[in-house]
Chain A
């Protein structure tokens, strides 16, 4: 590829130009391709190639322990369409995303605005909110497993002060998913807060001063300056968060293993089970492709319908 491109370029630019200039250009291009080679070798082998390979796998009956597989067309997808366990995992994932994303985004915005001011210790408080982001999710899940413990957990202890009866959080089919969402909100909000904070600090102070002189109150300042100025950031955060949240796995794996009665079995967890527990690679790949298609559509949809409205002079 490198040689072909360089050669074509040389031929195109040869007439009418001094050969030394063309030669230099060709050398520059060659250098550039060489510099790109290591990065693209990796990206090609472990990003682009698998993106196509997973589609090919999804059309086969490949099992992990049996490398020779047959092309079976769309059979996997037909099976997927009629698989209640898959739809259950879709429902659980949508529940998870639908609740956790608005809470995290809202909290992140509130935290960012509250911490954009200057006061003693503000840096420390920002760090505190961000700390769970860099902490190992597995270890954090172990700690929260114990906070949620029905008998000795802190959550029941604290709720007990207010007369709320003991709950078995992670073992309760109704409460398991909200418990996981609570942990995710605790661990993830700081990440989006930091993005919001950069956005808030980017808004020129003169806007607020001018509005204040006109007699705007706090709500008006927020509604007419902060919120519209942050629209591109909010949009970015929503995309990032949706894509991350639809792939939730680690907390589920550590805390509930998909239970109780599959009430926390999310799509990636189901995919993992099919691939590495029952070793159905073809079928697991079909789940991957469905998730992939969904995420791509989601991104395009967001770009089309939300992206257009938020371009605020950026």
Chain B
């Protein structure tokens, strides 16, 4: 925050100060943005360095890019399989939350029934239960169900959330009553109205839920770390960490950084395309 006074009555000077101040702020923000993006740019550059080049340290550029680092990382992390597992986990959870969320949200927004307030409060209360404190209990429950180390253990527990219900309910509340009345006149019950009118209209909200849940589940580390154990079930985050720990602490190599790039890139690309939808998920759910 700059504290340049703009209250002088002589406008030209005030305007000049204003301009200087805002230029200074812009320059500072650009410098900060450079620092912020630098780790990404630098990982791209070093992901193609030889181990000898990396070992020299400093800001050296790779002399001849070694793309072999990527094929090594690809093998070491069993990328094809881990990537597929991550997509199953993130995609499964996101699709399920869209379905369960839309159904529940529609009931809360458009139907009258006894217990609506209490049940909605209960759904929201789940947002107050921190995921880390129920880990041991969830492990025991999934163990009893015999689901440990399966996709069911990854996906089903994330198949519904207060977040999705809340966000979609907000959307369904905005649908005009006339739309429902018109549908009723045409003989459509609540289910038909939901399937053929409300859901197609809710596409932007559903995309937001999908992207938000997908990216979070894709990046999730703790849950798969605990609930899966076999090589075949490793998601990318686990594969990445395993690669790092197998290499040994303090050992930085080109393939490891290449692996980090391969792990980061999918959600970053997805975000680039769906930026608006993702950010809506944060601002809408947070700010009423």
Mark A residues whose CB is within 8 Å of B.
5, 8-9, 25, 28-29, 31-33, 35-36, 38-43, 45-51, 53-54, 57, 62, 110-111, 113-115, 117, 119, 121, 124-125, 127-132, 134-140, 142-147, 149, 151-154, 157, 186, 191, 194-195, 198-199, 202, 212, 215-219, 222, 233, 236, 240, 243, 246-247, 249-250, 253-254, 268, 271-272, 275-276, 281, 284-285, 288-289, 291-292, 295-296, 299, 314
8 Å CB contact of B162 from A43, A45, A114: A43
8 Å CB contact of A42 from B5, B137, B160: B160
Judging by beta carbons under 8 Å apart, are A138 and B160 in contact? no
8 Å CB contact of A131 from B36, B119, B286: B36
Kindly identify, within residues 39 to 79 of chain B, every residue whose CB is under 8 Å from any CB belonging to chain A. 39-40, 42-43, 46, 54-59
6 contacts between A and B (CB under 8 A): A29-B112, A134-B267, A135-B264, A218-B1, A247-B130, A281-B136
Docked CA distance A253–B221 (Å): 10
**Chain B nearest CB: distance from A223 CB in Å?**
10
Given A5-B115, A129-B33 in contact, is the A136-B267 Cβ separation under 8 Å? yes
Judging by beta carbons under 8 Å apart, are B113 and A33 in contact? yes
Docked CA distance A188–B244 (Å): 23
Asked if B156 is an interface residue, CB under 8 A from chain A, the answer is yes
Docked CA distance A191–B219 (Å): 15
Closest 4 CB pairs of A and B: A152-B57, A50-B137, A53-B137, A50-B134
Mark B residues whose CB is within 8 Å of A.
1-7, 21-22, 25-26, 28-30, 32-33, 36-37, 39-40, 42-43, 46, 54-59, 96, 99-101, 103-104, 106-108, 111-116, 119, 122-123, 126, 128-141, 156-157, 159-162, 165, 189-191, 194, 215, 218-219, 221-222, 225-226, 236-237, 240-241, 244, 250, 252, 256-257, 259-261, 263-264, 267-268, 270-272, 275, 278-279, 282-283, 286-288
Residues of chain A lying within 8 A (CB to CB) of residue B135: 271-272, 275, 288
Docked CA distance A36–B104 (Å): 5
Given A39-B101, A137-B221 in contact, is the A125-B30 Cβ separation under 8 Å? yes
8 Å CB contact of B287 from A135, A212, A233, A289: A233
Judging by beta carbons under 8 Å apart, are B112 and A195 in contact? no
Judging by beta carbons under 8 Å apart, are B132 and A291 in contact? yes
8 Å CB contact of B256 from A29, A43, A142, A243: A142
Docked CA distance A314–B156 (Å): 37
8 Å CB contact of A39 from B104, B113, B141, B268: B104
Judging by beta carbons under 8 Å apart, are B134 and A28 in contact? no
Docked CA distance A48–B240 (Å): 32
Residues of chain B lying within 8 A (CB to CB) of residue A48: 122, 126, 129
Judging by beta carbons under 8 Å apart, are A35 and B57 in contact? no
Given A39-B104, A54-B133, A135-B268 in contact, is the A219-B57 Cβ separation under 8 Å? no
Residues of chain B lying within 8 A (CB to CB) of residue A136: 218-219, 236-237, 240, 260, 263-264, 267
Docked CA distance A54–B107 (Å): 31
Judging by beta carbons under 8 Å apart, are A217 and B5 in contact? yes
Judging by beta carbons under 8 Å apart, are A110 and B156 in contact? no
8 Å CB contact of A240 from B221, B286, B288: B286
Docked CA distance A166–B279 (Å): 39
8 Å CB contact of A31 from B111, B119, B165, B272: B111
Which chain A residue has the least Cβ–Cβ distance from B237? A138
Judging by beta carbons under 8 Å apart, are B37 and A57 in contact? no
**Chain B nearest CB: distance from A48 CB in Å?**
7
Residues of chain B lying within 8 A (CB to CB) of residue A130: 279
**Chain B nearest CB: distance from A102 CB in Å?**
16
A sample of 19 more A-B contacts (CB under 8 A), given A9-B114, A39-B104, A219-B3, is A32-B107, A36-B107, A39-B103, A39-B165, A40-B160, A43-B122, A45-B157, A46-B138, A48-B129, A54-B137, A62-B140, A113-B1, A125-B29, A132-B36, A140-B260, A152-B58, A217-B7, A218-B1, A253-B221
Which chain B residue has the least Cβ–Cβ distance from A30? B113
8 Å CB contact of A199 from B123, B132, B287: B287
Judging by beta carbons under 8 Å apart, are A5 and B141 in contact? no
Residues of chain B lying within 8 A (CB to CB) of residue A191: 282
Judging by beta carbons under 8 Å apart, are A114 and B33 in contact? no
Docked CA distance A198–B280 (Å): 10
Judging by beta carbons under 8 Å apart, are A285 and B39 in contact? no
Judging by beta carbons under 8 Å apart, are B29 and A111 in contact? yes
Judging by beta carbons under 8 Å apart, are B140 and A281 in contact? yes
Judging by beta carbons under 8 Å apart, are A42 and B156 in contact? yes
8 Å CB contact of B29 from A45, A115, A140, A146: A115
Task: Pick the most buried of A45, A49, A157: most chain B CB atoms within 10 A of its CB.
Answer: A45
Given A28-B113, A218-B1 in contact, is the A125-B33 Cβ separation under 8 Å? yes
Residues of chain B lying within 8 A (CB to CB) of residue A246: 130
Judging by beta carbons under 8 Å apart, are A292 and B126 in contact? no
Given A46-B156, A50-B138 in contact, is the A288-B133 Cβ separation under 8 Å? yes
Judging by beta carbons under 8 Å apart, are A236 and B190 in contact? no
**Chain B nearest CB: distance from A302 CB in Å?**
12
Judging by beta carbons under 8 Å apart, are B113 and A195 in contact? no
**Chain A nearest CB: distance from B258 CB in Å?**
11
Docked CA distance A32–B241 (Å): 44
Judging by beta carbons under 8 Å apart, are B236 and A299 in contact? no
Residues of chain B lying within 8 A (CB to CB) of residue A151: 57
Which chain B residue has the least Cβ–Cβ distance from A219? B3
Judging by beta carbons under 8 Å apart, are A285 and B3 in contact? no
Residues of chain A lying within 8 A (CB to CB) of residue B191: 31
Residues of chain A lying within 8 A (CB to CB) of residue B58: 152, 157
